[in-house]
Amino acid sequence: MYNFNLKKVVMSATAVTALSAGAAAAQEACTNYTVEDGDTMATIAIAAYGTSNYQPIFNANRNVINNPNALDPGLVLALPCEDGSLPNGQSAQEIIAAEEARAATVKRSSVYQPPIKLVTGNGWAPFADESLNGGGFIARLGTTALNRGGNARDYSVSFVDDWNSHLETLLPLGAFDVSLAWVMPDCTNRTFEWSPETQTRCTQFDSSVPVYDTVFGVYTLPESQYASATGYEEFEGATICRMTGWGLFDLEASGLGGDDYTRLAPVTARECVDAVLTGSADIATFEVQLMSDTMGEMGLTTNDLVENPFVSTTQSLRFIAHRSNPFGKQYLAMLNKGLNEMRESGEWYAIVSDTLREHNEKLMAASN
């Protein structure tokens, strides 16, 4: 068993206050917790782990949480253990080892088939980064899926850090078959005018089933007028920061068009946080996991930057292939079969939690 602690490197001032007051003492790691009136995902995470990053809890309870902004009293949540495993369950490492042993017994075809060429990018830990085992959990999920669900395909994984080039050049020209991983807009929704980005995603690319559901938070200065906004329409006129290559489909679908706000699109999350702190942007919005890591690295607390509790969204990351690829749909179908089997066996959650363990250990080591 790994000696892993889900607490982040820097504990926020809010977390210290809540824990020192003995708040929500029943909310402990490696237990099942029954939601009470007034609980939020963030307050549960703070009480259980000392961090407002609730993505691991969301991962463990995706089958029962429909809206992370609204938890019903009486809902029972599994709070992951120190090693990322679920209460009263096998460890992630045990599940992964068992599935790998089972897959090794599957007879492979002797007919040669070229490796499927996968591409992702660095600097997106714990999702995708060469410094992590298997390249991060998005890469691990993709490569594992190609050897589950009746699949037995060889593959190659490359890291190209210019994410825009995946869509604009690499997939259209056939340099790679599948890119890991992207948010796709709801291409069935024509109730609003599609942006050029939505038009491109919906008409030029096919996608897999959801690979990972991530929560996108909205972060502002505590005194900002946008800190307590209850709808995206209240962000009209704001300057919003989300990194280059990241879509704004959630804003678009909520009715906030590109002419309604000013966008900043730097390369890194840290630049977005700096923009809010210095007043260059009113809002930073991206994944809660990445925001938690970024604030920890910068030594910030919830006294410096707060998450709006009303307007977070859930977005699914997917594997995508360009429609010009003659085998694109076949490869996505293979990935879908593997992912579905992995969810049923528990290997999907095991890989995610194992990578989060590794990622947090690296963060803690870097802080010492």
Q: Does domain 13-79 have CATH number 3.10.350.10?
A: yes
| Nearest alpha carbon to residue 124 among 175, 183, 202 | 183
**Domain edges within the chain:** 13-79, 92-177+325-367, 213-315
The CA angle 262-263-264, to the nearest 5 degrees, is 130
- Mean pLDDT score, 259-285: 96
DSSP string for residues in 38-83 = T--HHHHHHHHHSSS--HHHHHHTTTT-S-TT-PPTT-EEEEP-TT
pLDDT grade for 26, boundaries at 50, 70 and 90: low
192-250, pLDDT tens digit by residue? 888 899 999 999 999 999 999 999 999 999 999 999 999 999 999 999 999 988 889 99
User: Are both 13-79 and 213-315 of the same fold?
Assistant: no
Binned at pLDDT 50, 70 and 90, residue 287 comes out as very high
Cβ-in-10-Å burial (0-12, 13-18, 19+) of 338 comes to buried
Tell me the per-residue pLDDT of 33-71, one tens digit each, with 9 for 90 and over: 999 998 989 889 989 988 878 999 999 998 899 888 889
Q: What are 297-341's pLDDT values in tens digits?
A: 999 998 999 999 889 889 999 999 999 999 999 999 999 999 999
- Which CATH architecture is the domain 92-177+325-367 placed in? 3-Layer(aba) Sandwich (3.40)
**pLDDT beyond 50 at 6:** no
The pLDDT confidence band at residue 18, using thresholds 50, 70 and 90, is: very low
Token pair in block for residue 182? 């992207």
What average pLDDT does the chain have? 88
pLDDT tens per residue, range 126-153: 999 999 999 999 999 999 999 999 999 9
* Percent over 70 (pLDDT), the chain: 93
Segments of 188-292 assigned E as strands: 205-207, 212-220, 239-241, 262-264, 283-287
Q: Which of 167, 159, 176, 155 is nearest to 124 (CA)?
A: 159
Are 198 and 184 in contact, with CB atoms under 8 Å apart? Answer: no
Q: What are phi and psi of 85, to 5 degrees?
A: -75, 170
Each residue's pLDDT tens digit, 173-189: 999 999 999 999 989 98
pTM reported for the whole predicted model: 0.82
Report the pLDDT value the prediction gives residue 119, as an integer from 0 to 100: 98
| Pair 143, 155: CB distance under 8 Å | yes
pLDDT for residue 4 is more than 60: no
* pLDDT for res 84: 80
Assigned CATH for 213-315 = 3.40.190.10
